[in-house]
Amino acid sequence: MFQKRLAELTINDINNLVSIRRERENLYLEYKSNLSNSNRDKKEFLKDVSGFANAGGGFLLIGIEENKGVPTNICGTGGEVGNQKIDEWINNVLISNLDPKIYYELKIITGLKDNKALIIIHIPESKKKPHMVTLDNRNNYFIRHNTSVNAATHIEVREMFEYSNRITNKLEQFLKTRNMFDENDYDFGQTDNSEHLFSRANSESSTLPPILKYSFMPRYLEDNRVDVASKEMAEWIEENSKGFNPAPHVEVIKKWNKIITLYGVTYPDILPRKDGQEVDYYYHYVELLNNGYIESGHSYYIFYNHREKKRPIIHLTYTVGLFWIMLEFALSYFKRINYFEEVIFQLSSANIKGIALGGFGKLSDREKWYEPYSWDFEKPPVCRHERFKFNESFLVKNMNDDDIVNVVKEFSKKISRAFGETCDKCFSKEGNIDEGKLNYLLR
């Protein structure tokens, strides 16, 4: 339909579509002259949007007059509907009357005659279909057929459910191949890369080093979403290997080391070899796969032994700080590969039973948390799980700076609970992370 991203479209692109190409309405394109707050118009709007989502996706252009499907004029539409800004009205109507909620992109082009605007809504084919219209407590499924939107048949509804189930099963199968699906499995978290991680500490219950893996995966995996070994991607990695909050000095990717496989690229940070050593050990690594998956594996910087007690401790501030850095990197990466939909984050941890929580941040400028095994904290809470995981999900397009901070703080609470601590000791009373501790994060 368009040869550029939605955010880059201009009035010239729409004029070319309408006045020069005179593109007819079709399976992927619908015109509307305006929107109103009447129930009738709401229903038609919901039918159009859900019909696209339940079929192959498409574009809804509001502010275009048409005659029998052929565009005749860019008339524009008002900036408000029902005393609401038009983008707020659209969002509220879709959230309140579709189940499940859909993902969509919206572009408003202003500056038309009489202060009118042109609204472009892109609705991709949904991986969560079928979407049901629930307006007026009437539950209906619609699907687009060429230029019309019709009630979906029983067979079509069943096929949509089967389609969504295949998407879910594909993600589950992928996690199983990477030993990340069932934390009760002995091999949970173990891959070729994680087996190379070097640790300064050992769990009390395992001869294997403790590990943490930060994974970010598109909810909708596609085998060849991106060529991570391409020259263009290598140049992007070169320019974006660091610069992310809350520690912009930290290099996410050690770009001078690269291991290329059929399915992706691994960037390991390799320890110097000792005499007689036959295999490489990693401080940490980042793995990028062609299906959009990102994995960052750690042990060395996160786990350590108490100097005197020689007991294993996990560094809370490093753990949270690394998550923050990787979250910002992942968001930047997904935008680079034009993926703006749902992302699932998973923290996977293995060989960590008996490890205490330490590396706390400041309570305030004058106070600090006592570290484990200090004179008044002899028996700190420890992790009682041999292996565990937890997940969060978010839409790339919706994540702003405040959202990122909120997700990071929720992560900090969860990791604290996993290691037996009821109080989140990473952030100060003012909600700030201890940047002093992060100054030594990684090398």
Q: Which helix (H) or strand (E) holds 200?
A: none
Tell me the residue type at 126: S
Burial class from Cβ neighbours inside 10 Å (0-12, 13-18, 19+) for residue 245 reads: middle
CA gap 132, 100 in Å, rounded: 7
pLDDT of residue 376: 61
The string of DSSP codes covering 221-245 is --TTS--TTSHHHHHHHHHSSB--T
pLDDT on residue 255: 85
Mean pLDDT value across residues 359-371: 87
So what's the pLDDT on residue 216? 98
Task: Say yes or no to pLDDT of 3 above 90.
Answer: no
pLDDT confidence of residue 378: 65
Say how far apart CA 281 and CA 274 lie, in whole Å. Answer: 10
Q: How far apart are CA 313 and CA 373, in angstroms?
A: 10
Give helix 86-97 / helix 39-54 axis angle, nearest 10°: 70
Residue 56 has, within 13 A of its CA and on its CB side, a CA count of: 8
Residue with tokens 């100060």: 428
Domains and CATH numbers, the chain: 6-163 (3.30.950), 178-438 (no CATH)
Q: Which two tokens stand for residue 119?
A: 């609204």
**For residue 375, is pLDDT > 70?**
no
**Per-residue pLDDT tens over the stretch 232-267:** 999 999 999 999 999 999 999 988 889 999 999 999
Share of residues in the chain with pLDDT > 90 (%) = 71
3-state SS, residue 2: coil
- Among 134, 133, 138, 168, CA closest to 52: 133
CA–CA distance from 292 to each of 22, 115, 144 (Å)?
37, 41, 29
Instruction: Tokens for 184, please give them.
Output: 């009760």
Which helix H or strand E contains 286, and what residues bound it? strand 282-289
- Say how far apart CA 260 and CA 389 lie, in whole Å: 28
The model's pTM is 0.74
How far, in Å, CA of 123 to CA of 103, rounded?
7
Q: What residue type is 148 in one-letter code?
A: S
The candidate with the shortest Cα–Cα distance to 98, out of 168, 166, 42, is 42
| 75-79, 376-380, 427-431, range with the lowest pLDDT | 376-380
How far, CA to CA in Å, does 339 sit from each of 38, 243, 310, 334, 364? 34, 21, 45, 5, 39
The helix/strand count (H/E) of the chain reads as: 8, 22
pLDDT at res. 39:
92
Amino acid symbol at 34: N
pLDDT classification of 204: cutoffs 50, 70, 90: low
Query: Tokens at residue 326, please?
Result: 């990787």
* DSSP-derived 3-state class of residue 72: strand
Query: In a 10 Å sphere around its CB, with 0-12 CB exposed, 13-18 middle and 19+ buried, how is residue 442 labelled?
Result: buried
Kindly tell me if the per-residue pLDDT of 54 is higher than 60. Answer: yes
Q: What is the pLDDT of residue 307?
A: 78
Six-digit token string for 353: 């039973």
pLDDT band at 323 (very low <50, low <70, confident <90, very high): very high
- What per-residue confidence (pLDDT) applies to 220? 82
Q: What is the CA radius of gyration of the chain?
A: 26
pLDDT computed for residue 207 by the predictor = 76
Q: What is the pLDDT of residue 341?
A: 80
Alpha-carbon distance of 46 to 59, in angstroms, equals: 14
**Amino acid letter, residue 82:** G
Q: Residue 90: which H helix or E strand, with range? A: helix 86-97
What is the predicted pLDDT for the residue at 265? 97
Confidence of residue 372 (pLDDT cuts 50, 70, 90): confident
Q: Which residues contact 194 (CB under 8 A, 6 or more apart)?
A: 211, 213, 297
Give the 3-state secondary structure of residue 402.
helix
Q: Which helix (H) or strand (E) holds 80?
A: strand 80-81
Quick one: pLDDT at residue 203? 60
pLDDT at 442: 56
Per-residue pLDDT tens for 58-82? 999 999 999 999 999 999 999 899 8
Q: Which two tokens stand for residue 66?
A: 């048409």
Are 370 and 399 in contact by the 8 Å Cβ rule? The answer is no
Residue 331 clears pLDDT 70, i.e. is over it: yes
If DSSP codes are grouped into helix, strand and coil, which group holds residue 418?
helix
Q: What is the pLDDT of residue 377?
A: 65
Say whether pLDDT at 206 is over 70: no
DSSP category for residue 351: S
Rounded CA-CA distance 411/419 in Å is 13
